[in-house]
Amino acid sequence: MSPTSAPSRDRDGGAAPTGRKAGRGGAVRRHPFARFLVRRIVTALLLALGITLVTFILTNLVPGDPAAANLGQRAIGDPAIVAQWRADHGLDKPLPQQYLMHLSGLLQGDFGQSQQSHRPVADDLAEFVPATLELAGAAILISLVAGVGFGVVAALRRDRLSDHILRVTSLFGISVPTFWLALVAFYVFFYRLQIAPGSGRIDPGMTPPPHVTGLYTVDAALSGQWDVFASAAGHLATPALVLALYTIGLLTRFTRSAVLEVLGQDYVRAARAKGLPGRVILFRYVLRPALVPIITVAGLAFGSLLSGTVLVEAIFAWPGVGQYAYKSATSLDLPAVMGVGLVVGVVYLVINLVVDVLYGVIDPRVRLS
Protein backbone atom coordinates (compact mmCIF):
# COMPACT_ATOMS: atom_id res chain seq x y z
CA MET A 1 0.00 0.00 0.00
CA SER A 2 0.97 3.55 -0.41
CA PRO A 3 3.47 4.65 2.21
CA THR A 4 1.80 8.04 2.46
CA SER A 5 -1.53 6.72 3.64
CA ALA A 6 -2.39 7.28 7.26
CA PRO A 7 -1.87 4.38 9.60
CA SER A 8 -5.57 4.49 10.35
CA ARG A 9 -7.54 1.34 10.96
CA ASP A 10 -10.30 2.39 8.63
CA ARG A 11 -8.29 3.07 5.52
CA ASP A 12 -9.45 2.19 2.07
CA GLY A 13 -12.60 4.20 2.33
CA GLY A 14 -13.82 3.14 5.71
CA ALA A 15 -16.71 0.82 5.18
CA ALA A 16 -15.61 -0.44 8.57
CA PRO A 17 -17.82 0.40 11.56
CA THR A 18 -15.10 2.67 12.92
CA GLY A 19 -15.74 4.96 10.01
CA ARG A 20 -19.40 5.17 10.87
CA LYS A 21 -18.68 6.12 14.44
CA ALA A 22 -16.26 8.79 13.33
CA GLY A 23 -18.66 10.28 10.84
CA ARG A 24 -21.97 10.51 12.57
CA GLY A 25 -21.65 11.60 16.19
CA GLY A 26 -20.13 15.08 16.28
CA ALA A 27 -19.04 14.61 19.88
CA VAL A 28 -17.19 11.42 19.05
CA ARG A 29 -15.58 13.03 16.05
CA ARG A 30 -14.42 15.98 18.10
CA HIS A 31 -13.23 13.75 20.89
CA PRO A 32 -9.59 13.55 19.74
CA PHE A 33 -9.46 17.33 19.64
CA ALA A 34 -10.80 17.57 23.19
CA ARG A 35 -8.12 15.15 24.33
CA PHE A 36 -5.53 17.18 22.43
CA LEU A 37 -6.73 20.33 24.21
CA VAL A 38 -6.72 18.78 27.68
CA ARG A 39 -3.22 17.45 27.11
CA ARG A 40 -1.98 20.89 26.07
CA ILE A 41 -3.63 22.61 29.04
CA VAL A 42 -2.19 20.15 31.56
CA THR A 43 1.25 20.63 30.03
CA ALA A 44 0.84 24.39 30.28
CA LEU A 45 -0.10 24.16 33.98
CA LEU A 46 2.93 22.03 34.75
CA LEU A 47 5.12 24.49 32.89
CA ALA A 48 3.57 27.34 34.88
CA LEU A 49 4.61 25.53 38.08
CA GLY A 50 8.07 25.18 36.61
CA ILE A 51 8.14 28.90 35.90
CA THR A 52 7.40 29.73 39.55
CA LEU A 53 10.32 27.55 40.60
CA VAL A 54 12.68 29.01 38.03
CA THR A 55 11.78 32.61 38.80
CA PHE A 56 12.16 31.88 42.48
CA ILE A 57 15.57 30.28 42.11
CA LEU A 58 16.88 32.87 39.66
CA THR A 59 15.73 35.70 41.84
CA ASN A 60 17.50 34.21 44.83
CA LEU A 61 20.66 33.65 42.87
CA VAL A 62 20.96 37.36 42.16
CA PRO A 63 24.06 38.57 43.93
CA GLY A 64 22.96 41.39 46.14
CA ASP A 65 21.19 41.86 49.38
CA PRO A 66 17.60 43.09 49.16
CA ALA A 67 17.95 44.48 52.64
CA ALA A 68 20.86 46.62 51.55
CA ALA A 69 18.91 47.80 48.53
CA ASN A 70 15.83 48.73 50.51
CA LEU A 71 17.03 50.04 53.81
CA GLY A 72 18.55 53.41 54.28
CA GLN A 73 22.26 54.02 54.93
CA ARG A 74 21.89 54.24 58.65
CA ALA A 75 19.53 51.30 59.05
CA ILE A 76 22.01 49.06 57.20
CA GLY A 77 24.53 49.69 59.90
CA ASP A 78 22.19 48.34 62.57
CA PRO A 79 22.14 44.50 62.51
CA ALA A 80 18.97 44.41 64.59
CA ILE A 81 17.03 46.42 62.01
CA VAL A 82 18.39 44.34 59.14
CA ALA A 83 17.45 41.10 60.92
CA GLN A 84 14.03 42.49 61.67
CA TRP A 85 13.55 43.50 58.03
CA ARG A 86 14.64 40.07 56.82
CA ALA A 87 12.29 38.36 59.25
CA ASP A 88 9.43 40.61 58.15
CA HIS A 89 9.96 39.52 54.56
CA GLY A 90 10.44 35.83 55.37
CA LEU A 91 14.02 35.92 54.18
CA ASP A 92 15.35 34.25 57.34
CA LYS A 93 13.66 30.94 56.49
CA PRO A 94 15.37 28.16 54.47
CA LEU A 95 14.91 28.49 50.70
CA PRO A 96 12.58 25.47 50.15
CA GLN A 97 10.29 26.82 52.83
CA GLN A 98 10.41 30.26 51.27
CA TYR A 99 9.41 28.68 47.95
CA LEU A 100 6.45 26.85 49.48
CA MET A 101 5.31 30.03 51.20
CA HIS A 102 5.69 31.85 47.90
CA LEU A 103 3.67 29.16 46.11
CA SER A 104 0.83 29.03 48.59
CA GLY A 105 0.68 32.81 48.46
CA LEU A 106 0.45 32.70 44.67
CA LEU A 107 -2.47 30.28 44.82
CA GLN A 108 -4.35 32.83 46.92
CA GLY A 109 -3.44 35.60 44.52
CA ASP A 110 -0.83 36.95 46.92
CA PHE A 111 2.31 37.88 45.04
CA GLY A 112 3.85 39.45 48.11
CA GLN A 113 4.50 43.06 48.97
CA SER A 114 6.53 45.28 46.69
CA GLN A 115 9.37 46.79 48.63
CA GLN A 116 9.45 49.76 46.30
CA SER A 117 5.83 50.77 45.95
CA HIS A 118 4.84 49.40 49.37
CA ARG A 119 1.75 47.94 47.75
CA PRO A 120 0.81 44.31 47.05
CA VAL A 121 2.62 43.19 43.89
CA ALA A 122 -0.74 41.87 42.63
CA ASP A 123 -2.13 45.42 42.67
CA ASP A 124 0.90 46.76 40.85
CA LEU A 125 0.65 44.04 38.22
CA ALA A 126 -3.06 44.63 37.76
CA GLU A 127 -2.23 48.24 37.01
CA PHE A 128 0.81 47.79 34.76
CA VAL A 129 0.19 44.52 32.95
CA PRO A 130 -2.93 45.66 31.04
CA ALA A 131 -1.02 48.70 29.77
CA THR A 132 1.67 46.45 28.33
CA LEU A 133 -0.83 43.96 26.97
CA GLU A 134 -2.66 46.79 25.25
CA LEU A 135 0.56 48.01 23.68
CA ALA A 136 1.85 44.57 22.69
CA GLY A 137 -1.61 43.41 21.61
CA ALA A 138 -2.08 46.44 19.37
CA ALA A 139 1.40 45.88 17.95
CA ILE A 140 0.78 42.22 17.17
CA LEU A 141 -2.57 43.03 15.56
CA ILE A 142 -0.94 45.67 13.36
CA SER A 143 1.88 43.23 12.56
CA LEU A 144 -0.47 40.43 11.60
CA VAL A 145 -2.63 42.56 9.34
CA ALA A 146 0.24 44.45 7.72
CA GLY A 147 2.83 41.66 7.74
CA VAL A 148 0.55 38.97 6.34
CA GLY A 149 -0.96 41.42 3.86
CA PHE A 150 2.41 42.64 2.60
CA GLY A 151 3.75 39.09 2.49
CA VAL A 152 0.85 37.88 0.37
CA VAL A 153 1.19 40.83 -2.00
CA ALA A 154 4.94 40.27 -2.31
CA ALA A 155 4.43 36.57 -3.04
CA LEU A 156 1.69 37.12 -5.60
CA ARG A 157 3.75 39.83 -7.32
CA ARG A 158 6.99 37.92 -7.05
CA ASP A 159 10.02 39.56 -8.64
CA ARG A 160 8.07 42.63 -9.65
CA LEU A 161 8.69 46.13 -8.35
CA SER A 162 6.22 45.94 -5.46
CA ASP A 163 7.85 42.70 -4.30
CA HIS A 164 11.30 44.28 -4.33
CA ILE A 165 10.08 47.34 -2.44
CA LEU A 166 8.37 45.21 0.21
CA ARG A 167 11.41 43.01 0.61
CA VAL A 168 13.76 45.92 1.13
CA THR A 169 11.33 47.64 3.49
CA SER A 170 10.84 44.50 5.54
CA LEU A 171 14.58 44.07 5.82
CA PHE A 172 14.74 47.65 7.12
CA GLY A 173 12.03 46.83 9.67
CA ILE A 174 13.96 43.84 10.92
CA SER A 175 17.32 45.59 11.04
CA VAL A 176 16.44 48.86 12.72
CA PRO A 177 16.86 48.84 16.51
CA THR A 178 13.54 49.49 18.23
CA PHE A 179 14.88 52.05 20.71
CA TRP A 180 16.37 54.17 17.92
CA LEU A 181 13.14 53.96 15.95
CA ALA A 182 11.18 54.93 19.07
CA LEU A 183 13.32 58.03 19.55
CA VAL A 184 13.07 59.02 15.90
CA ALA A 185 9.31 58.44 15.83
CA PHE A 186 8.86 60.48 18.98
CA TYR A 187 10.95 63.31 17.55
CA VAL A 188 9.29 63.30 14.15
CA PHE A 189 5.63 62.72 14.98
CA PHE A 190 5.41 64.51 18.31
CA TYR A 191 8.04 67.23 18.22
CA ARG A 192 8.32 68.07 14.51
CA LEU A 193 5.03 67.22 12.87
CA GLN A 194 3.01 67.49 16.05
CA ILE A 195 0.52 64.89 14.87
CA ALA A 196 1.13 62.40 17.67
CA PRO A 197 0.08 63.11 21.25
CA GLY A 198 2.74 63.13 23.93
CA SER A 199 3.69 60.41 26.34
CA GLY A 200 1.40 58.39 28.56
CA ARG A 201 -1.69 56.37 27.78
CA ILE A 202 -4.18 59.20 27.63
CA ASP A 203 -4.31 63.01 27.40
CA PRO A 204 -3.42 64.69 30.68
CA GLY A 205 -6.52 65.81 32.55
CA MET A 206 -8.68 63.15 31.02
CA THR A 207 -10.15 60.55 33.37
CA PRO A 208 -9.37 56.94 32.42
CA PRO A 209 -12.42 54.90 31.41
CA PRO A 210 -14.11 52.68 34.04
CA HIS A 211 -11.97 49.62 34.67
CA VAL A 212 -13.23 46.47 32.96
CA THR A 213 -10.30 44.96 31.12
CA GLY A 214 -7.66 47.54 31.97
CA LEU A 215 -7.15 48.19 28.25
CA TYR A 216 -8.06 51.86 27.89
CA THR A 217 -9.21 51.60 24.27
CA VAL A 218 -11.45 48.63 24.98
CA ASP A 219 -12.82 50.04 28.22
CA ALA A 220 -13.56 53.38 26.60
CA ALA A 221 -15.37 51.70 23.73
CA LEU A 222 -17.32 49.50 26.16
CA SER A 223 -18.51 52.50 28.12
CA GLY A 224 -19.18 54.50 24.97
CA GLN A 225 -16.76 57.31 25.86
CA TRP A 226 -15.60 57.98 22.34
CA ASP A 227 -13.51 61.04 23.21
CA VAL A 228 -11.56 58.94 25.69
CA PHE A 229 -11.28 56.19 23.09
CA ALA A 230 -9.87 58.61 20.53
CA SER A 231 -7.34 59.91 23.01
CA ALA A 232 -6.28 56.43 24.15
CA ALA A 233 -6.03 55.17 20.56
CA GLY A 234 -4.00 58.25 19.60
CA HIS A 235 -1.57 57.67 22.43
CA LEU A 236 -1.35 53.99 21.55
CA ALA A 237 -0.73 54.44 17.82
CA THR A 238 2.89 55.64 17.69
CA PRO A 239 4.43 53.29 20.28
CA ALA A 240 2.46 50.35 18.89
CA LEU A 241 3.64 51.09 15.35
CA VAL A 242 7.23 51.47 16.51
CA LEU A 243 6.98 48.19 18.34
CA ALA A 244 5.27 46.50 15.40
CA LEU A 245 7.79 47.47 12.73
CA TYR A 246 10.13 44.60 13.53
CA THR A 247 7.37 42.00 13.54
CA ILE A 248 5.82 43.46 10.39
CA GLY A 249 9.14 42.92 8.63
CA LEU A 250 9.50 39.46 10.07
CA LEU A 251 5.97 38.39 9.16
CA THR A 252 6.21 39.91 5.68
CA ARG A 253 9.23 37.79 4.92
CA PHE A 254 7.83 34.61 6.43
CA THR A 255 4.45 35.05 4.82
CA ARG A 256 6.04 35.66 1.44
CA SER A 257 8.03 32.45 1.56
CA ALA A 258 5.15 30.44 3.07
CA VAL A 259 2.75 31.63 0.36
CA LEU A 260 5.28 30.98 -2.39
CA GLU A 261 5.73 27.47 -1.12
CA VAL A 262 2.00 26.79 -1.04
CA LEU A 263 1.53 28.35 -4.49
CA GLY A 264 3.74 25.60 -5.86
CA GLN A 265 1.60 22.85 -4.36
CA ASP A 266 -0.37 20.51 -6.57
CA TYR A 267 -3.63 21.21 -4.80
CA VAL A 268 -3.44 24.87 -5.73
CA ARG A 269 -3.12 23.89 -9.39
CA ALA A 270 -5.95 21.41 -8.87
CA ALA A 271 -8.08 24.21 -7.42
CA ARG A 272 -7.38 26.30 -10.52
CA ALA A 273 -8.32 23.34 -12.68
CA LYS A 274 -11.64 23.25 -10.82
CA GLY A 275 -12.37 26.79 -11.93
CA LEU A 276 -12.73 28.17 -8.41
CA PRO A 277 -12.79 31.97 -8.11
CA GLY A 278 -9.44 33.58 -7.38
CA ARG A 279 -10.37 34.78 -3.91
CA VAL A 280 -11.47 31.27 -2.86
CA ILE A 281 -8.16 29.87 -4.08
CA LEU A 282 -6.26 32.62 -2.29
CA PHE A 283 -7.95 32.25 1.10
CA ARG A 284 -8.91 28.59 1.19
CA TYR A 285 -6.13 26.98 -0.80
CA VAL A 286 -3.16 29.28 -0.32
CA LEU A 287 -3.54 31.30 2.86
CA ARG A 288 -4.95 28.58 5.09
CA PRO A 289 -2.04 26.17 4.67
CA ALA A 290 0.40 29.09 4.77
CA LEU A 291 -1.03 30.16 8.14
CA VAL A 292 0.63 27.25 9.93
CA PRO A 293 4.18 28.62 9.63
CA ILE A 294 2.85 32.19 9.93
CA ILE A 295 1.21 31.67 13.33
CA THR A 296 4.31 29.87 14.55
CA VAL A 297 6.37 32.94 13.78
CA ALA A 298 3.68 35.29 15.08
CA GLY A 299 3.67 33.44 18.42
CA LEU A 300 7.42 33.76 18.72
CA ALA A 301 7.25 37.38 17.59
CA PHE A 302 4.80 38.18 20.36
CA GLY A 303 7.48 37.09 22.80
CA SER A 304 10.01 39.44 21.27
CA LEU A 305 7.39 42.20 21.34
CA LEU A 306 7.03 41.78 25.09
CA SER A 307 10.75 42.27 25.60
CA GLY A 308 10.73 45.14 23.12
CA THR A 309 8.16 46.95 25.22
CA VAL A 310 10.68 47.68 27.97
CA LEU A 311 12.54 50.20 25.78
CA VAL A 312 9.47 51.55 24.03
CA GLU A 313 7.69 52.03 27.34
CA ALA A 314 10.66 53.91 28.71
CA ILE A 315 10.83 56.29 25.72
CA PHE A 316 7.09 56.91 25.48
CA ALA A 317 6.63 56.98 29.28
CA TRP A 318 4.12 54.21 28.91
CA PRO A 319 3.22 52.99 32.42
CA GLY A 320 3.60 49.30 31.62
CA VAL A 321 5.12 46.25 33.16
CA GLY A 322 8.41 46.82 31.35
CA GLN A 323 9.14 49.99 33.30
CA TYR A 324 7.93 48.31 36.47
CA ALA A 325 10.23 45.34 35.88
CA TYR A 326 13.17 47.63 35.23
CA LYS A 327 12.63 49.59 38.44
CA SER A 328 12.05 46.45 40.49
CA ALA A 329 15.11 44.70 39.14
CA THR A 330 17.44 47.62 39.75
CA SER A 331 16.24 47.98 43.32
CA LEU A 332 16.27 44.21 44.01
CA ASP A 333 12.55 44.25 44.76
CA LEU A 334 12.37 40.46 44.71
CA PRO A 335 8.60 39.91 45.07
CA ALA A 336 7.97 42.35 42.22
CA VAL A 337 10.62 40.74 40.01
CA MET A 338 9.16 37.30 40.65
CA GLY A 339 5.67 38.58 39.96
CA VAL A 340 6.72 40.08 36.63
CA GLY A 341 8.64 36.93 35.73
CA LEU A 342 5.64 34.79 36.46
CA VAL A 343 3.23 36.97 34.52
CA VAL A 344 5.49 37.19 31.48
CA GLY A 345 6.06 33.44 31.64
CA VAL A 346 2.35 32.75 31.83
CA VAL A 347 1.72 35.09 28.88
CA TYR A 348 4.23 33.04 26.86
CA LEU A 349 2.47 29.84 27.89
CA VAL A 350 -0.91 31.19 26.91
CA ILE A 351 0.42 32.29 23.52
CA ASN A 352 1.94 28.89 22.92
CA LEU A 353 -1.31 27.25 23.92
CA VAL A 354 -3.25 29.48 21.54
CA VAL A 355 -0.81 28.69 18.72
CA ASP A 356 -1.13 24.95 19.41
CA VAL A 357 -4.91 25.15 19.42
CA LEU A 358 -4.84 27.14 16.18
CA TYR A 359 -2.73 24.40 14.57
CA GLY A 360 -5.53 22.00 15.41
CA VAL A 361 -8.21 24.34 14.08
CA ILE A 362 -6.35 24.97 10.81
CA ASP A 363 -5.08 21.47 10.13
CA PRO A 364 -7.31 18.43 10.71
CA ARG A 365 -4.27 16.18 10.57
CA VAL A 366 -3.11 17.68 13.88
CA ARG A 367 -6.56 17.45 15.41
CA LEU A 368 -7.42 13.92 14.30
CA SER A 369 -4.18 12.09 14.92
Interface residues toward other proteins, by CB under 8 A:
1-2, 4-6, 8, 10-15, 19-20, 22-24, 29, 265-267, 269-277, 280, 284-285, 288-289, 362-365, 368
Pick between residue 22 and residue 75 the one whose CB is nearest to other proteins: 22
Residue 35 has φ and ψ, to the nearest 5°, of -65, -40
CA distances from 257 to 152, 225, 266, 333 (A): 9, 43, 17, 45
CB of 269 vs other proteins, minimal distance in Å: 6
CB of 46 vs other proteins, minimal distance in Å: 30
Pick between residue 29 and residue 93 the one whose CB is nearest to other proteins: 29
CB of 287 vs other proteins, minimal distance in Å: 11
Pick between residue 286 and residue 325 the one whose CB is nearest to other proteins: 286
CB of 169 vs other proteins, minimal distance in Å: 24
CB of 16 vs other proteins, minimal distance in Å: 8
Q: Report the distance separating Cα 91 and Cα 86, nearest Å.
A: 5
Pick between residue 211 and residue 272 the one whose CB is nearest to other proteins: 272
Residue 211 has φ and ψ, to the nearest 5°, of -75, 115
Pick between residue 24 and residue 74 the one whose CB is nearest to other proteins: 24
CB of 29 vs other proteins, minimal distance in Å: 8
Q: Report the distance separating Cα 208 and Cα 225, nearest Å.
A: 10
Pick between residue 291 and residue 315 the one whose CB is nearest to other proteins: 291
Pick between residue 287 and residue 346 the one whose CB is nearest to other proteins: 287
Pick between residue 128 and residue 359 the one whose CB is nearest to other proteins: 359
CB of 156 vs other proteins, minimal distance in Å: 11
Residue of 271, 291, 290 whose CA lies nearest to 279: 271
CB 363 within 8 A of CB 139: no
CB of 256 vs other proteins, minimal distance in Å: 16
